[in-house]
Amino acid sequence: MVAGVIDHVAFSGRGLAAAVAKLKGKGIAYELRRLPAYGTWQLFFHDPNGAKVEIDFDAVEPAPA
C-alpha cells in the first residue's frame, strides 16, 4: 500500500469493548494501544479502502476481554 498525504483519521469514541468485539467478529485486524502518560486507549484499524482509522477512548474504559 502506498501512503498518501494523510497518514490516518482519528475520532473519539465510547464503548471500547464493543468496538473491539465488532472488529473481531468481522475478522478485521486491529492494534490496541494505551498511552502511558494519560491512559487513553487508541484503537487502530484500516477501513475497506485501506485508510488507517484511529478511535480514541477514555482512560476509564475497561480493557476489552
The pTM assigned to this predicted structure is: 0.88
- Residue 2 confidence (pLDDT): 60
Phi, psi of 56 (to 5 degrees): -100, 135
Residue 1 pLDDT more than 60?
no
Phi, psi of 36 (to 5 degrees): -60, -40
d(CA 50, CA 53): 9
Residue 65 pLDDT more than 90?
no
Tens of pLDDT, residue by residue over 6-64, are 788 999 999 999 999 999 999 999 999 999 999 999 999 999 888 899 999 999 999 99
- Residue 31 confidence (pLDDT): 98
- Residue 3 confidence (pLDDT): 59
User: Is residue 64 a contact partner of residue 16, using CB atoms and an 8 Å limit?
Assistant: yes
